Amino acid sequence: MVPPVVREMVKGVYLSLDEMRGRISDVKWAPMSLDDTEDKILFLFDGEPWFGILRGRNRDFMISGNPESDASLALRTILDGDAKRVDG
């Protein structure tokens, strides 16, 4: 059995990630150049443009057109350290 304190900690992390995912929108493929070796996505996080590199555990995923699952993919790039804000 999982101790109540651990359940509450996991619940807090889940709610925080769920809130963060809700701040992501407009996920789409990033333009590719000839020297790119990894797929990239573009998305808005808090209305600011970001890009994420699909590597590691994310390399076999694709944008599906479902806003919730696409936001989850973008969130995974943030959590894995493979996303950056686009400098303008």
Give the pTM. 0.84
Q: Which tens digits make up the pLDDT trace of 43-82?
A: 999 999 999 999 999 999 989 999 999 999 999 999 999 9
pLDDT tier for residue 88 given thresholds of 50, 70 and 90: low
Q: CA 80, CA 88: separation in Å to the nearest integer? A: 23
Burial class (CB in 10 A: 0-12, 13-18, 19+), 74: buried
Domain segments of the chain as ranges: 4-85
Q: Cα separations (Å) of 87 from 7, 16, 71, 78?
A: 39, 26, 21, 16
Sign of the CA dihedral running 81, 39, 86, 73: negative
| Count of residues making up the chain | 88
